[in-house]
Amino acid sequence: MSGSPDDIPFFDEEDAAPAPAPRAGGIAARAMAARAAPRQAYLDGLNPEQAQAVETTEGPVLVLAGAGTGKTRVLTTRIAHILATGKAYPSQILAVTFTNKAAREMKTRIGVFVGEAIEGMPWLGTFHSIGVKLLRRHAELVGLKSSFTILDTDDQIRLLKQLIQAEGLDDKRWPARQFAQMIDGWKNKGLTPKEIPEGDARAFANGKGRELYAAYQNRLLTLNAVDFGDLLLHPIRIFREYPDVLKEYHKRFRYILVDEYQDTNTAQYMWLRLLAQRQGQSVNVCCVGDDDQSIYGWRGAEVDNILRFEKDFPGATVIRLERNYRSTSHILGAASHLIAHNEGRLGKTLFTEQADPDEPKVQVHASWDSEEEARAIGEEIEALQSKKHALNDMAILVRASFQMREFEDRFVTLGLNYRVIGGPRFYERQEIRDAMAYFRVVAQPADDLAFERIVNVPKRGLGEAAVRQIHDVARMRQVPMLQAARDLVGTEEMKPKPRAALRTVVENFERWQDMLDRTSHTELAELILEESGYTDMWKNDRSAEAPGRLENLKELIRSMEEYESLRGFLEHVALVMDAERDEEMDAISIMTLHSAKGLEFDTVFLPGWEEGLFPHQRALDEGGRTGLEEERRLAYVGLTRAKKNLHLWFASNRRIHGLWQTTMPSRFLDELPEAHVEVCEDGSAYGGYGRPDGQIGRPNPYGRSRFDDQGSFSNTYATPGWQRAQKNRNSATDRNWGTRSGHQVERIGYGEADSGYGAGRGSVKGRTIEGELVAKSVSDTPSAFKVGDRVFHMKFGNGNIAAIDGNKLTIDFDKAGQKRVLDGFVSPV
């Protein structure tokens, strides 16, 4: 396709009456078809099923897309096809995804087909972002103003806490956090306070659950605010109560596409049905999903939605994508065999044509404990690295996030670059939220929750008493808190000290609000943080995190530059909680299995395949067979992330809540087909398989001979394997020290400020160091530090250098104690 945006017409203005689709055979249609015809090249690369999914544009279509079968490609090509054949204008296509990332990717990929016309798809987005759009248009129908604010979980909990206390309840016995989750659950099911089951209502706060939920909703209305659930529920209500509004959207949306349909919850399902089910009209709705990858049941997703599709949309075409383009036949064979143990599937059989006899089988490794597991995986990674495998092509996928620590610790010691995906998000960090609260009050003076958050941050002597006073005035006069505060400083009601402090706050906000339209928003933002004393607060903070927080604030300002205004930025942040990851750095990814869905890597490590951890005990206890099946799907997701190499690990001992426990290999290991799996003993060089013979309470994965035979452990693999690994390890680390210390960055979680830029290779003379393997690297990159220097480390905070050993520093950290780290990870204070 050519890159000209003129290929596709975008003259359908956002708020114009929905334009009719070009009439079949009409001049416009023919013109477009003529232009499109020679470019149907986009269909060429598709297999027959994919092509069918793209070209069956009319009527309901369910695409069951197995892992790695080109799902996103089908979705994007389908949209491109609809556009190219002139069946609809971009603004007539509703395309919903779950995550911003997925939405972004679709926009980009459609952009490739269509030219740069990404702006032309106004209704491509997440359920929530589309919900905002709908709600801004029709806010008044549910008693809101279209300037409503979107609360995040933090705000929500603080609000609920107030309400619980206002009811005279003990907020310790009835934690707001827990209640927030209950409300979330109700909203996932599309339930209003009136509709929640009696039992649920009774379960909280001595039967006041329903009352509190209703009070919460009322409070939101007075605050002109919504939570995430409301972004779906309000539109549902509008569609139900105002059929003419719904009709408008029926007319507008000629084509509806839904990604990851197996993850939809009841509310999303209701929302979708309202839009997609129309009387006596063929509905062009296309849902794409994979029932085998449904892993969000615990947060309200209903696999049933996908299983029921044909009933909901009679006459639906069901297309199965089963040709896998991602993984080797061994990996696929293992995954398919495992998932076949689930009942109640729609059933797909993945196949691949990649059948290179040399491709490695899925490897299962045993280790003595989780520490050894981390060590062995680290060695394997370094071995691969020395064979020129990029760290970016590798990932460690864990069941629970506590497993990550051991790997992080290990990689820090090894000096192995890693990135943690899915940790605390950038916009969820305290300093970012505080800063955002300031911006919110400036942009939306009625945002009481934001005001309350920062009125005493930094500390200004405006404690609980002062806040209550402001609160009372605000309630009495029915004005926002900022206004109430303004009134209060004009009276004698407050003691002089808090009064003066509050006056400064009020005057500051007035000045900033005044500047809002005259100053560039980034400048203003910086000014606010300076003048409020917020940056100073962190500058004066001597804790380990403070420098990182300041860095984050800078990053926040930087990221604002991409937006036109403060308001635009605030909307973005409310909905898009993620941050781009730094693709520049070569690093291995560590993440949970859940956050790995949709990703792929050449090499995947899956540690912790033990009963109780995976499948997780709690899933079994609370979910029964359904829970087990979801765990199995999670295992399936994990296995199918790998393209070439897949390593499963289990440890015989694992520390859980501090104490060591002996574990049994996961039942999922039993469920793998022997033909595609190879059991390796390299990892258990120490201590072998720590289970006494015959102690296992159920059939052993591969027959006892393979796992329990200590002989094979120490003879076949262990010794040479260990030695080889040792060798690789040394060469790999040496090489890395040489190349890294220039720009090495340790990132923990995304959005975390980069720290420890190279320790700077000063002209420090080669120190005499008692050191063995370090000696070599010393000449390469002498450390610029000297004993006694004060340094900062991203993970451990500030400390003093106690000893230097080439590039390895021994540091006495103020908080973390003595650690050995590479100099690239620390920066001078």
> Which residues have a catalytic role annotated?
71-72, 259-260, 293, 641
CB of 169 to DNA, least distance (A): 12
Alpha carbon distance 177, 650 (integer Å): 34
Q: Determine contact, residues 293/637, Cβ cutoff 8 Å.
A: yes
CA atoms in the 13 A half-sphere facing the CB of 493? 17
CB of 228 to DNA, least distance (A): 3
> What residue type is assigned to position 233 of the chain?
L
Q: Which C-beta is closer to DNA: that of 48 or that of 168?
A: 168
Q: Which C-beta is closer to DNA: that of 127 or that of 239?
A: 127
Q: Which C-beta is closer to DNA: that of 166 or that of 465?
A: 465
Alpha carbon distance 160, 144 (integer Å): 20
Contacts of 459 (CB under 8 A, 6+ apart): none
Alpha carbon distance 446, 558 (integer Å): 26
Q: Which C-beta is closer to DNA: that of 32 or that of 474?
A: 474
CB of 127 to DNA, least distance (A): 7
Q: Which C-beta is closer to DNA: that of 35 or that of 425?
A: 425
Q: Beta-carbon neighbour count of residue 694 at 10 Å?
A: 8
Q: Determine contact, residues 589/396, Cβ cutoff 8 Å.
A: yes
Question: Does 608 carry a binding-site annotation?
Answer: no
Question: Does 70 carry a binding-site annotation?
Answer: yes
Give the 3-state DSSP-derived string for 690-747, with helices as H, strands as E and coil as C.
Answer: CCCCCCCCCCCCCCHHHHHCHHHHHHHHHHHHHHHHHHHHHHHHHHHHHHHCCCCCCE
| Tokens of residue 355, six digits | 């059948």
Q: Is 683 helix (H, G, I), strand (E, B) or coil?
A: helix
Q: Which C-beta is closer to DNA: that of 125 or that of 209?
A: 125
CB of 257 to DNA, least distance (A): 17
CB of 424 to DNA, least distance (A): 8
Burial class (CB in 10 A: 0-12, 13-18, 19+), 47: middle
Radius of gyration of the chain (CA): 29
> What residue type is assigned to position 25 of the chain?
G
Question: Does 71 carry a binding-site annotation?
Answer: yes
Question: Does 72 carry a binding-site annotation?
Answer: yes
Of 117, 111, 150, the C-alpha closest to 131 is 150
Point out which residues bind DNA (CB under 7 A): 98-101, 126, 128-129, 153, 172, 175, 184, 228, 298-299, 399-402, 422, 425, 456, 459, 461-466, 575-578, 591-592, 594-595, 616, 618-619, 622-623, 627, 631, 655, 657-658
CB of 618 to DNA, least distance (A): 4
Q: Beta-carbon neighbour count of residue 578 at 10 Å?
A: 16
CB of 328 to DNA, least distance (A): 27
Cα–Cα distances in angstroms (integers) from residue 806 to residues 57, 406, 740, 767, 793, in the given order: 65, 25, 14, 8, 18
CB of 13 to DNA, least distance (A): 25
Q: Beta-carbon neighbour count of residue 566 at 10 Å?
A: 23
Contacts of 272 (CB under 8 A, 6+ apart): 96, 256, 258, 264, 285
CB of 419 to DNA, least distance (A): 14
Q: Which C-beta is closer to DNA: that of 167 or that of 578?
A: 578
Q: Beta-carbon neighbour count of residue 295 at 10 Å?
A: 23
Cis peptide before 5 (omega within 30 of 0): no
Q: What are phi and psi of 802, to 5 degrees?
A: -100, -30
- Which helix H or strand E contains 119, and what residues bound it? none
CB of 464 to DNA, least distance (A): 5
Burial class (CB in 10 A: 0-12, 13-18, 19+), 27: exposed
Alpha carbon distance 289, 308 (integer Å): 13
CB of 176 to DNA, least distance (A): 8
Question: Does 66 carry a binding-site annotation?
Answer: yes
Q: What is the DSSP string of 188-235?
A: HTT--GGGS-HHHHHHTGGGTHHHHHHHHHHHHHHTTEE-TTHHHHHH
What is the largest distance, in Å, between two alpha-carbon atoms of the chain?
A: 86
Q: Which C-beta is closer to DNA: that of 55 or that of 409?
A: 409
Alpha carbon distance 539, 547 (integer Å): 7
Q: Which C-beta is closer to DNA: that of 295 or that of 822?
A: 295
601-606/588-592 β-pairing: unpaired
Q: Which C-beta is closer to DNA: that of 616 or that of 808?
A: 616
Strand order in the sheet with 817-822: 817-822, 808-813, 797-805, 790-793, 826-828
Alpha carbon distance 297, 693 (integer Å): 38
- DSSP E strands in 578-676: the ranges are 588-592, 601-606, 642-656, 659-662
Q: Which C-beta is closer to DNA: that of 184 or that of 211?
A: 184
Q: Which residues line the annotated binding site? A: 65-72
Q: Which residues line the annotated binding site for ATP? A: 65-72
